[in-house]
Amino acid sequence: MEDVIEWLKEHGDLKIINEPLDVELEIPHVAYLEIKRESSRPILFTKPIYKSKGIEYDMPVLMNIFANRAITQKIFGKHPDEVAEGIDALLKFKPPKGLKAKLAMLPKLFALKNIFPKRLKSKGACQEVIIQKSEVDLDMLPILKTWDEDGGRFITMGQVYTMSLDGSMQNLGMYRLQQYGKNRLGMHWQIHKDASHFFDQYQKAGKKMPISIAIGGDPLYIWCGQAPMPYGMFELLLYGFVRGKNARIVKSMTNDIYIPADVDVVIEGFVDPELTEIEGPFGDHTGYYTLKESFPVLEVEAITMKKNPVFQATVVGKPPLEDKYMGWATERIFLPMLKPMAPDLIDYNMPENGVFHNLILAKMKTLYKGHAQQFMHAFWGVGQMSFVKHAIFVGEDAPHLEDHEALIRHILNRLHRDKILITEGIVDHLDHSSPEQFVGGKLGIDATGDEVDNGIELQLEDQELLGMMQRIDESIRGLKQYMLDTKNPICIITVDKQGSQKYLISGLHKLSPYLKVLIIVDEQGNDLDNPYMLIWRVVNNIDAQRDIILEPFIAVDGTNKNEQDGYDREWPADTLCNREVLESLRDRGLIDWDETFVHKWGLL
């Protein structure tokens, strides 16, 4: 992986685009459409330009590195399950008894020395070129603007290296970074992240916080940056464990933070604990814009780089994206770390259209009454799992967790309101649906038992049922029923929302013989024939305490919220592509799309 481009040409079917393309919208739009294709590939843009400022870059932009499962596995050098097996063995480690057992253990113990990063006394390849503070201009980097409403250009694949005030802990995180002019960056570390905790230490001490931001190098660095490691553990330990060799790190030029020697670009600086600035909006991985908010600001002291650097970036928005494959690796590797607090957990899956923290599916052995509820509380109380909003548990007889259609049928045949737990807890910083930032409703469904006895009383064709509903409430525009052969069919309706949907649901009580699960979404922006995107919409848009009603049928309000719902925050917009840009790229033969593709992924 020393030369990532050559490695990707050989192992990743690298797609190379030599036509000049704008870092604002054009490059991100090409990458965004590419990652949604079944045979998606990494892309190298060799001639990025900054059209509005007349800048032509010599530094190419590399995107969609984690383009599919096959290349993700190649980046790791092994299947993520093999990494998980090694972690599981470590967690179950017991001191050997007897000389033979001790000798057999020596190779494993010897290999552990490769976990710890190795500090080099020399400079790294990342420091071949040094740009001092007086000459720093972030415009020299091909930083991207992805969406029309973004607040500016954002570094999207930055490895943010920080350390605690006393220097005893170092952290690697992946945070977006907004460019403010020539020498300042907005530090969007969320309140629950380790870097934010370190910042609190510096703020209380009244000291500036050193930061080094690396871009490029081994793609495994960026995966480590988003891995849910326990607090206080340096993520590059995970790099050493996966690679089987030490991460080679060098000291930054202007602070005491160590960064990998082989990265392409390093941005060094300090954060003044008294200085914040409005950051955003930014079209994020939820598929919605995160709104403007105050965050700390990094003042750049120096930029170092290789002689011929490559700028790595990712594109975020509506799923599927490359975080699908990064998340897959994370999911597999961290399964052993969940089992100590949930010993009877068999497996789990976080579908990408559930935006990971919004939906988790888990398979478990049930040994006693309330076992699934116990697991729900365990999940909601540990590390990054505590951000999960909706958790569904099935028994060991359930289909494979990635066989989603069969699994949904299995769940619907076991769904009962008495097995639904609605509670409250912390939610992700990016969550927009809860009435209050950082705290919101949690939904747990226990589908581990036997099939329920009673199904729907009466079945009607979609148009007949729609007609009956429209006679009750004319705001209802469309209707489609799914899984009519299960005990709990799903009826999804679209509405031209005029008020709180609680009144609509109340009016539909008289139709309870025809309904088991009713889901409501807005007419605009939703397609009743596209269940993938409907799941994305609903799990993003609901707060379980406010939006789920259990009597006389299960009703879920997945509409956008406003004051009529008691919601007084600003509701964010979807991330949508720029049609003019898409058409221009298609006319130049750089991307291929039609209205069916656009509709499938909610692009416009």
Residue-level pLDDT at 590: 96
Find where tokens 């070129």 sit.
Answer: 129
pLDDT at 369: 92
Pairing type for strands 360-364 and 43-45 reads: unpaired
How does residue 104 score in pLDDT terms, banded at 50, 70 and 90? Answer: low
Whether the per-residue pLDDT at 110 is higher than 70: the answer is no
At 227 the pLDDT is 87
Instruction: Give the confidence band of 114 by pLDDT, cuts at 50, 70, 90.
Output: confident
Find the mean pLDDT for residues 370-383: 88
Distance CA 130, CA 76 (A): 31
Mean local confidence (pLDDT), 563-571: 94
Average pLDDT over residues 428-457: 93
H/E run at residue 580: helix 579-587
- Confidence at residue 551, expressed as pLDDT on a 0 to 100 scale: 93
Q: Stretch 256-283: mean pLDDT, rounded?
A: 96
By percentage, how much of the chain surpasses pLDDT 90?
A: 82
Are residues 536 and 358 in contact, defined by beta-carbon separation less than 8 angstroms? Answer: no
pLDDT band for 101, please (50, 70, 90 cuts). low
Mean pLDDT of 203-223: 95
Bridging pattern class, strands 390-395 and 439-447: parallel
Token representation of residue 24: 């604002």
In the chain the domains, ranked by start, together with CATH numbers, are 4-312 (2.30.110.10), 338-447 (3.40.1670.10), 462-565 (3.40.1670.10)
Q: Which residue has the tokens 């403010």?
A: 180
Average pLDDT of span 400-429 = 95
Average pLDDT on 167-174 reads 91
The amino acid at 546: R
Rounded distance, CA 326 to CA 66, Å?
7
Looking at the predicted structure, is the pLDDT value of residue 102 above 60?
Answer: no
Please give the backbone phi and psi of residue 191, each rounded to the nearest 5 degrees, phi first: -60, -25
Q: Which residue has the tokens 């596995």?
A: 73
Q: What is the CA radius of gyration of the chain?
A: 25
pLDDT-derived band at 252, boundaries 50, 70, 90: very high
Work out whether strand 390-395 and strand 420-426 pair parallel, antiparallel, or are unpaired: unpaired
* Residue 105, pLDDT above cutoff 60: no
Give me the mean pLDDT over the 518-540 stretch. Answer: 97
Give residue 194's pLDDT: 78
Mean pLDDT, residues 395-404 taken together:
96
Predicted pLDDT of residue 190: 77
Q: Max alpha carbon distance in the chain (Å)?
A: 82
Is the pLDDT reported for residue 218 higher than 80? yes
Kindly provide the residue ranges of all beta strands, DSSP E only, lying in 176-242, ordered along the sequence.
177-180, 184-187, 209-215
Looking at residue 384, its pLDDT comes to 80
CA neighbor of 239 nearest in space, from 93, 391, 115: 115
Q: What is the mean pLDDT of residues 270-293?
A: 94
Q: How far apart (Å, rounded) are the C-alpha atoms in residues 486 and 503?
A: 28
How far, CA to CA in Å, does 161 sit from each of 25, 149, 213, 230, 364?
28, 28, 6, 16, 37
pLDDT for 99 equals: 64
Mean pLDDT of 506-529: 96
Q: What percent of the chain has pLDDT over 70?
A: 96
Which residues in 338-475 belong to E strands, given as ranges?
Answer: 345-349, 360-364, 390-395, 420-426, 439-447
33-91 pLDDT per residue, tens: 999 998 899 999 999 999 999 999 999 999 999 999 999 999 999 999 999 888 877 66
* Range 476-489 average pLDDT: 97
Confidence of residue 196 (pLDDT cuts 50, 70, 90): confident
pLDDT score of 2 more than 70: no
Active-site residues, by number, are: 284
Whether the CB-CB separation of 604 and 322 falls below 8 Å is answered with no
Q: Would you say residue 566 has pLDDT above 80?
A: yes
Q: Is the pLDDT at 555 greater than 70, yes or no?
A: yes
Edge-to-edge strand order for the sheet containing 554-557?
476-482, 490-495, 517-522, 554-557, 548-549
More confident residue, 142 or 273: 142
pLDDT recorded at residue 454: 86
Instruction: Round the average pLDDT of the chain to a whole number and report it.
Output: 93
